[in-house]
Amino acid sequence: MDTLNADKNWLSLRNLVPRWGIWTSGLVNLLVLAISAIALWWIFFSNSGIFKLYTPLLGFSLVIWMLLIIMWQAEFFDYWPFSNRFLASAHPLKKGGILTGTTLLLYLVLIFGILFFIIGQYGVTYFNWNSLTKYGKLGQDVMSTRETTSWSFICLSVPFLWITTILLVGAGKGIWAQSPQPGQGLANWLLVAMLSIPLFLIFFHPHIGSMFYPAQIYTAVPPWWKHLAHTNSAEYGLGILFCTVIVIFITLQLWEGRPWNLVEKQPWRFLFILFGGLVLGFIFFKVQLYIMDYFWDEAYLGGQNDANFGWRYSHTVTMGNFILVPAIILKTYFGQGFSKMKLWQKGILTTCIAIIAGLIFAWCYYAWAPTLLGICSGVSHPSENPSAFLVLLIVLLNIQDYFMDGWPGYLVKDQGAKK
């Protein structure tokens, strides 16, 4: 059997092994990750850099959509139009460069080509900051309207990220398993879009409509969650859905997909992860809020920064990502070092390591990032959103794993090329 058969996903064919031993290879990759992240930050995001994309919402919107497109490329489209033979034979640097360039191209076409230039100019004003400046008549400049548009991009990404995660874990490729690429990937993507757009309109569009004065009540109903969340902000729904995604990914990284893969039959598996994920995500969300209440007292209406309900809801995403990043690093860089342990032992140990490492990472970020990354100091500075840098790290981890086969610390053994 030719294991480079195009019907099989490259991720299921490759056999990654450490180049210099598990711990040495992992530490080398960790060093490469840190250097790459800091360098890219200073070039593209830092306000002292070249492109100054960290506004901070513009930078966050860019990296979250990059992450989504990478997931779609690898999981939904099986790297189409690139063949498994190319993926097996190309040097990781060449392959990583081409695939990352493809991701950037798709980002430009999808977000700026379709969403910004077409929909934002001829359909929905808040998807184009130039349209907001032109038609808003609110005395806003491009800098302020750019943040509104970037927030809209972020809001749209959240239901897409949640539905993508639910479908990948709950259904996999089983819905259209016999369909060849790119039809299979397109069918999956259209299903994600069909489910995500109504969720955006229900959970996020009311907030964006309420941001203007007067509130756009004839096109966006007043935020229906206000009495529940004590705020008009869609950060309430963002926090719950994003925390659900984080919890699911932590289980995939550290618990080998438990408990979701314990249920195999459909539609029960899909329903299990849909509702079970929401329950775990909501618990994770609420626990963080209780911890914030302990350290900072309760938030209150009219509170600013860390006393603001919306800030706390969105900060659950930040703290969750501080834990998720070490979880992904443990799996991708050092996962084979725990392979001989029983699942429950490995799961408990690595989860504890991820939580402790995440808390240390958070302390280091707030203490050192103003110097290393050129950001504003303080936990709740209004111009600071750590999730932009954290999601950038996750994007780079995915590029290194999905596009470069763990280079330089890992290599593909046999490459599945032999019959």
pLDDT in tens, 151-169: 999 999 999 999 999 999 9
pLDDT at 415: 53
- Residue-wise pLDDT tens digits, 9-21: 899 889 999 999 9
pLDDT band at 138 (very low <50, low <70, confident <90, very high): low
- Integer Cα distance of 114 and 107 in angstroms: 10
pLDDT at 3: 39
The lowest-confidence range among 71-75, 245-249, 373-377 is 373-377
pLDDT at 418: 37
The lowest-confidence range among 119-128, 171-180, 191-200, 331-340 is 171-180
pLDDT band at 416 (very low <50, low <70, confident <90, very high): very low
pLDDT band at 139 (very low <50, low <70, confident <90, very high): low
- Residue-wise pLDDT tens digits, 69-99: 999 999 999 999 999 999 999 999 999 999 9
The lowest-confidence range among 171-180, 223-232, 372-381, 395-404 is 171-180
